[in-house]
Structure 1
Amino acid sequence: MTTTAPTATAHRSGRRFETARQVADAVLFEGYVLYPYRASAAKNRMRWQFGVLVPPAWAPAQGEHSLQRTEVLMEPRGAATLSLELRFLHAQRRTVQEAHADGTFTDTPALHLPDRVLVPWDEGTEERVELRVAVPELTEKEIVLPFNRPAREDTEPVLDDHGRTVGRLVRRTEEAEGVVRLHAEELEGPYRVLKLTAVVENTSPWTPDGPGTAREEALPRSLVAAHLLLGLTPGSFLSMTDPPEWARSAVAGCANLHTWPVLAGEDGRADVVLSSPIILEDHPAIAPESAGAMYDATEIDEILALRTAALTDEEKREARGTDPRAAAVVDLAETLPPEVLERLHGAVRSLRAGTGAAAAPQEPAPEALFTPDTPWWDPAGSAPAQPTPDRVLVDGTPVGPGSRVTLRPGLRRTDAQDLFLQGRTARVEEVLHDVDGGVHLAVTVEGDPGADIRREQGRFLYFQPDEVTATEEP
């Protein structure tokens, strides 16, 4: 194994990765800080969930990984070159210290300022390893690129409104080491295709003190949210999720460990791949309605914006002191104009006929966006709607409005209240059909003293036909 010579130097891939990097940024910071964006929140006490490559001495006993492997197929043309960016977060531990009159500092669990409350926290700094190599080199030998991020300690003074030092932040970063290994092999087939293998490995020599060493000790020496951007010039990659028929067996022979490669960049192009620890589709994109990064892995922008704006002033002070990115989320939620917030409520992108050259005339275009002023249904171009039947067969018996049924909630229903309805009889009020062809029975439970009010207000319980049995009329 040899280390690359001049081709392994840092190289800016320029505009090639710009579009893909927007999604890669979301991968890098997905789950970085969770609502309610405070260090004290229970959700933020277990940090770093995606793409964590831990030191190899710590990984086996804890069920985590020290490497990830990407295998993709590519069709280089001419004197092609491969550009690579490895991106990850390097965790750094931030402690808070209070200043004393004699000029000394001591650790404190919280430093209260008028606009924020500073508390200990693990921050993440973005790191990047870049490589550019001629494709023929990849087929001749394995390219090995080791990298190192040294340990360091930095201090930042904390000043009050009058410019006096009231404390300081101390940031300590441990050494992180790793290696990128690349090679390619030509496959047999009707076309010239190369299988590219890219391995990212944490090679830190750090050894845990014992079997009970906490994850928090390994994280500062880990590669967090590690992912790859790969670019080929000239040439193209094959989709790993929707390959051409002739390449399906070759794609099936690729082994991807702890990562998921998809075509990225501008739609319609295939010269960039994002290999992500999060499962994505080809050509993923950030929703144009998003006003800014929310970082939370469990919610959608609208909910997060509304909930964040509703935090108390004290909660916002702690969030602002937790992390600059959390502070940015709070400021964003407080300044969103109504028209931007309204855009977050939802958009339909799959009902308009495609207009691009590659789109079939009747196929929907994923990028189509609809607003109240752009109807999604064209009455002149649609077949007349067929009347939906008001009765449905349940075990061979027609059931419709007025029919009596016995409720048998299935396993798919997880609402605990449904258990109380098991075996109860009910009367069907309506038979409803959704746009996907599903059928739903709106019912009122017999013996319910509020049944008349439910009918009046249209507030029914809903079951599918396989969750009821027909009951003979008394």
Structure 2
Amino acid sequence: MTATTSTTESRTATASGTAPDARFATARQVADAVLFEGYVLYPYRASAAKNRMRWQFGVLVPPAWAPAHEEHTFQRTEVLLEPRGAATLSLELRFLHAQRRTVQQACMDGTFEEVAELHLADRVLVPWDEGAEERVEVSVTVAELAGAEALFPFARPAREEVEPVLDAEGRTVGRLVRRTERVSGLLRLSAAELDGPYRVLKLAAVVENTSSWVPDDSSATREEALPRSLVAAHLLLGLSSGSFLSMTDPPEWAKGAVASCENRHTWPVLAGEPGRADVVLSSPIILEDHPAIAPESAGAMYDATEIDEILALRTAALTDQEKREARGTDPRAAAVIDLADSMPPEVLERLHGAVRGLRDITGEPGAGAEDPAALFRPETPWWDPAGADPVEPAPDHVTVDGVRVGVGSRVVLRPGLRRTDAQDLFLQGRTALVEAVLHDVDGGVHLAVTVEGDPGADIRREQGRFLYFQPDEVTPGEQA
């Protein structure tokens, strides 16, 4: 078995110079979005409140700091696999290593002093916590893991780096000082064969923070713990021969074994190209099998299509001063600003939406042979009032428990768990007044209501901002 380590400076090769597992290429695109989820948020400036509480997903903190702060020191992934022959397991642990960046200004006597801001022509440099991408790669045969636990310790040393800051004329006007604390961890791998009709193994992969750092006192903050933490930690797993079983949609015979798997602070899904089952992404963000970045997404805004459009438009609307601060916050923020500024109209238009699938609504074989799109285009769109049935208008009432309910009726709200949200649950048992009975294009009925006793009910009526419930989520109330 072998283990190598690498950092973001060597993304295309391991420390030993071996090309990384090509099967991870597609999955790594999604993994990048996981890695940088919440890293720097619009408006991409360090001064924004939302960018002052960062590093929320997959943070594995030092053991000495975790107990008093209810944060995690480990992740545990369990997944089922069906290896074939002398199968080899390739594993890639990825995480961010937080490093503190301070800004210093050059003095007349040749020394440097720390400052809150350093203004340049194109950016404003400010103190910031950067994230250096780290990677631990392991290769081990499945046979080596059967009945035995394999341990792979890893560490990143403390270091300090200095980067000079030059003005437009090439003169040194300051410098950036980056300080990184030592971080260490342990990767535990084991596999056990399960009883059943087929040869199936349960693989366990545990990632632990083993930092020996101990805070000086109980008042130590999260900011002190983060440089010793594994941030946004997640795993990529690949089989050279064989396949993994889906944890969200397993075959019937494997459902019991899947239910017995213990996944803590992470969740594994099939990744890579659709139809393949030889790669798994285990991330702190719950995903579906074969997640993918929308092909319309023009760059690493770390979102998808519709949100990309909003971010691009809002970013383009930032003032020049705001863009200067964003560019000075982080190189990734600067890349987003440059992307938004340079995005041509035809690319922005692609972000507006995309058709992922079509269905034949004509029911006529051979229709539209000269124009294939005609098979999917009705003569009158469903949203056009001209397409509505003019003979029988939608009823303005609905029958609930044998009682006619319409505009002005009182109902008691009984929101169910099937399709409600947390806010609706607070209205359980409250009396409401029906303001409208609405019908959607699929034949569903919705009751628009205002809650009695709500001081904002009159405003809701004026603005048409009602709460909506389906008939089976209410019971008739006492009528006035």
TM-score (norm 2): 0.80
Report what 1:210 is aligned to.
Answer: 217
Note if contact 2:31-2:281 (Cα within 8 Å) is conserved in structure 1.
yes
Q: Deviations over 1:244-284 (max 9, x none)?
A: 11111111111111110000000000000000010000000
CA-atom RMSD in angstroms? 3.5
1:248 aligns with 2:255: yes
1:226 aligns with 2:233: yes
Note if contact 1:32-1:296 (Cα within 8 Å) is conserved in structure 2.
no
Q: 1:349 to 1:225 in 2, by over 3 A?
A: same
Match of 1:129 among 108, 132, 136: 136
Report what 2:172 is aligned to.
Answer: 165
Note if contact 1:319-1:330 (Cα within 8 Å) is conserved in structure 2.
yes
Q: 1:267 to 1:306 in 2, by over 3 A?
A: same
- The separation in 2 between residues aligned to 1:292 and 1:5, in whole angstroms, is 35
1:440 aligns with 2:440: no
Q: 1:370-409 residue pairs with structure 2 within 5 A?
A: 377=376, 389-390=394-395, 391-398=397-404, 404-406=408-410
Note if contact 2:411-2:476 (Cα within 8 Å) is conserved in structure 1.
yes
Report SS of the residue matched to 1:60. Answer: coil
* Partner AA of 1:23 in structure 2: V
Structure 1 residue 439: Cα displacement: 1.4
* Partner AA of 2:165 in structure 1: V
Q: 1:263 to 1:413 in 2, by over 3 A?
A: closer
Report what 2:43 is aligned to.
Answer: 36
Report what 1:274 is aligned to.
Answer: 281
Report what 1:70 is aligned to.
Answer: 77
- The separation in 1 between residues aligned to 2:431 and 2:322, in whole angstroms, is 47
Segments of structure 1 that go 5 or more residues without pairing to the other structure are 354-372, 445-454
Report what 1:198 is aligned to.
Answer: 205
Structure 1 residue 59: Cα displacement: 1.0
* Partner AA of 1:275 in structure 2: S
Report SS of the residue matched to 2:179. Answer: strand
Report SS of the residue matched to 1:268. Answer: coil
Structure 1 residue 385: Cα displacement: 9.7
How many pairs does the alignment contain?
430
1:100 aligns with 2:107: yes
* Partner AA of 1:195 in structure 2: K
- The separation in 2 between residues aligned to 1:129 and 1:167, in whole angstroms, is 34
Q: Deviations over 1:130-188 (max 9, x none)?
A: 01111111115211111111111111111111111100000011111111111111111
- The separation in 2 between residues aligned to 1:130 and 1:413, in whole angstroms, is 41
Q: Percent identity?
A: 69
- The separation in 1 between residues aligned to 2:4 and 2:118, in whole angstroms, is 48
Q: 1:47-62 residue pairs with structure 2 within 5 A?
A: 47-62=54-69
- The separation in 2 between residues aligned to 1:56 and 1:424, in whole angstroms, is 51
**Greater shift after overlay, 139-148 or 183-192?**
139-148
- The separation in 2 between residues aligned to 1:70 and 1:413, in whole angstroms, is 29
Report SS of the residue matched to 2:220. Answer: coil
- The separation in 2 between residues aligned to 1:264 and 1:424, in whole angstroms, is 47
TM-score (norm 1): 0.81
Match of 1:185 among 192, 209, 215: 192
Match of 2:337 among 305, 323, 330: 330
Report what 2:363 is aligned to.
Answer: none
Structure 1 residue 300: Cα displacement: 2.2
Note if contact 2:434-2:447 (Cα within 8 Å) is conserved in structure 1.
no
Report what 1:22 is aligned to.
Answer: 29
- The separation in 1 between residues aligned to 2:468 and 2:71, in whole angstroms, is 42
- The separation in 2 between residues aligned to 1:178 and 1:107, in whole angstroms, is 33
1:114 aligns with 2:121: yes
Q: Deviations over 1:317-364 (max 9, x none)?
A: 1111000111111111222222322222233435548xxxxxxxxxxx
Note if contact 1:395-1:470 (Cα within 8 Å) is conserved in structure 2.
no
- The separation in 2 between residues aligned to 1:14 and 1:254, in whole angstroms, is 26
1:90 aligns with 2:97: yes
Q: Deviations over 1:195-236 (max 9, x none)?
A: 111111111111111111011111111111000000001100
Note if contact 2:434-2:448 (Cα within 8 Å) is conserved in structure 1.
no
Structure 1 residue 388: Cα displacement: 7.7
Q: Deviations over 1:399-422 (max 9, x none)?
A: 56xx54458777769999xx9xx9
Q: 1:58 to 1:352 in 2, by over 3 A?
A: farther
Q: 1:374 to 1:234 in 2, by over 3 A?
A: same
- The separation in 2 between residues aligned to 1:107 and 1:289, in whole angstroms, is 43
Q: 1:300-319 residue pairs with structure 2 within 5 A?
A: 300-319=307-326
- The separation in 1 between residues aligned to 2:400 and 2:376, in whole angstroms, is 33
Report what 1:152 is aligned to.
Answer: 159
Segments of structure 2 that go 5 or more residues without pairing to the other structure are 6-14, 361-371, 380-386, 451-460
Structure 1 residue 108: Cα displacement: 0.3
- The separation in 1 between residues aligned to 2:204 and 2:296, in whole angstroms, is 36
Structure 1 residue 394: Cα displacement: 4.3
Note if contact 1:19-1:265 (Cα within 8 Å) is conserved in structure 2.
yes
Structure 1 residue 6: Cα displacement: 7.8
